[in-house]
Structure 1
């Protein structure tokens, strides 16, 4: 089927495009630069030149799609407003009965300690993503005429990307910094396993509503940091920084790193048969070759 992907040349989005093409879908991907156009073509997608602010381009692209997948992240200070306006424009332009998949994330649940968090858990978003529940609701408000799916991935890893990849890069030049004592746990998912879930929800009419997207048990932050240091060629050293000291330096990202979450993603397995088999984050870091 024809699928329009926003963010299709980013870390998660490129995996999604690759998986959709592997399943023989026709993919068009929003591309904001010549480099993005080239990457989209290399992935097998037809580039659509534009960005989130080009609402007429977005309306035209979604009108030609059977499914729309939004993985875009707008890095500017006006990014939240740009995404909101883009969502409204696309949802209103998408013909009845089509599919819209929106990317949220597990940080909308907040830090919950030992509680096992499923899709029905109340939201208490971290400050970094305080705007996301409103955007989820904008999307979900169209479920009376569209097939709507909201995905809430955990921390994405694999092939040197995501926050774990950032920690490895930090470990190349010194100890990996850990906000707090690092006993808090991170729910994780490998990028290609996540891409399989995106393709599943595009293809399966039964997929509707909200799905958490994590695999395996949550992993203590400090264990990831030690493993990242060793993956970078170091000796596993970490440097702890108190949360109150990290906040002035890192802003709300500090609280995100210190969040403690245990996510239940069994709904995706139960309803969609999502059972990807990939190395865990610690396994992958243990097998990283430093060049």
Structure 2
């Protein structure tokens, strides 16, 4: 299968590219600068130098592929609404290229705004600024074969630059590994390579579902995360008010925990990587 991957040099996307190539698939990936393009080429993928704003390039690449995986998203939280709009435009362009065919499009979303213990059948949070899942739904109404991969809030592994490093950085800066209230709000987690397999398996099994959950640890309390971080940094672990966390307060207080039962069943997917709390014991996370 020839798969076009956006975000092919990102934390999740690069793992998806590697997994696809290792499984014998041909990959074309999007890279936005020369350094990223060279790194992508070294993995064995064909490189297209462009950005998510180059909609005609996205359409051409999607038209030339057997399937499309969209993992790209600008995670600059200072301009999240702008990034969400860019993401929506890219998904619409990819869908335009695939309309009238049976070639699938997998888009990426998260768990924010979903109820605790959400299943793959739960509707997305329509109030969310990120519209990737809703954009996929609109394309589906036009006959485009789309599905959404919902990622756990922590897609972890050494080199992670997502939310867990923010927790570690805040602990260092403030001198305390903190949580809000009793810290019983829960996050899901998934090892990076395990998440990548969900995308591949969904394509190989024909994209029969509307939603897949790339989730291994279904529910880890924020207090447990803070406990490991505090111990590894030799810092006290204490409750703090929301203002302690600044812009990160909503994330630190949120429950983003969901079930993976349907995805495991339909894909025959069994995560093999370390759990979130075990992974956080690695010294490299704190180097």
Into which bin does the TM-score normalised by the smaller protein fall?
0.7 to 0.9
Alignment root-mean-square deviation, CA: 2.2
Contiguous gaps of at least 5 residues in structure 1 = none
Shift of 1:180: 4.1
Offset at residue 101 of structure 1 (A) = 0.3
Give the drift of 1:75.
4.3
Give 1:263's aligned residue: 258
Q: 1:219 to 1:21 in 2, by over 3 A?
A: same
Aligned to 2:237: 238
Q: How does 1:1-291 map to 2 (within 5 A)?
A: 1-75=1-75, 77=79, 78-94=82-98, 96-109=101-114, 112=115, 115-124=116-125, 130-132=128-130, 134-143=131-140, 145-155=143-153, 156-161=155-160, 162-172=162-172, 174-231=175-232, 234-243=233-242, 245-246=243-244, 249-250=246-247, 253-289=248-284
Deviation, 1:66, is: 0.7
- 1:146 counterpart SS class: coil
Please state whether the residue corresponding to 1:286 is helix, strand or coil: coil
> How big is each residue's C-alpha offset from its partner over 1:37-66, in whole Å with a ceiling of 9 and x where there is no partner?
122113222221110111111111111111
Distance 1:97 1:36, change over 3 A: same
CA contact (8 A) 2:179 2:240 kept: yes
> Which secondary structure does the structure 2 equivalent of 1:142 belong to?
helix
| Distance in 2 of aligned mates of 1:75 and 1:285 | 22
Is 2:40–2:47's contact at 8 Å kept on the other side of the alignment?
A: yes
Equivalents in 2 of 1:121, 1:214: separation in Å? 15
- Is the 1:157–1:163 Cα contact (8 Å) retained in structure 2? no
User: May I ask how many residue pairs the two structures share in their alignment?
Assistant: 277
Deviation by residue 1:162-196 (Cα, 9 ceiling, x = unmatched)? 22233334445533343444221111111110001
Q: TM-score, normalised by structure 2?
A: 0.87
Q: Say if 1:167 and 1:229, in contact at 8 Å, map to a contact too.
A: no
Stretch of structure 1 that moved more, 15-24 or 173-182: 173-182
User: What is the alpha-carbon distance in structure 2 between the residues aligned to residue 158 and residue 15 of structure 1?
Assistant: 11
Q: CA deviation at 1:206?
A: 4.8
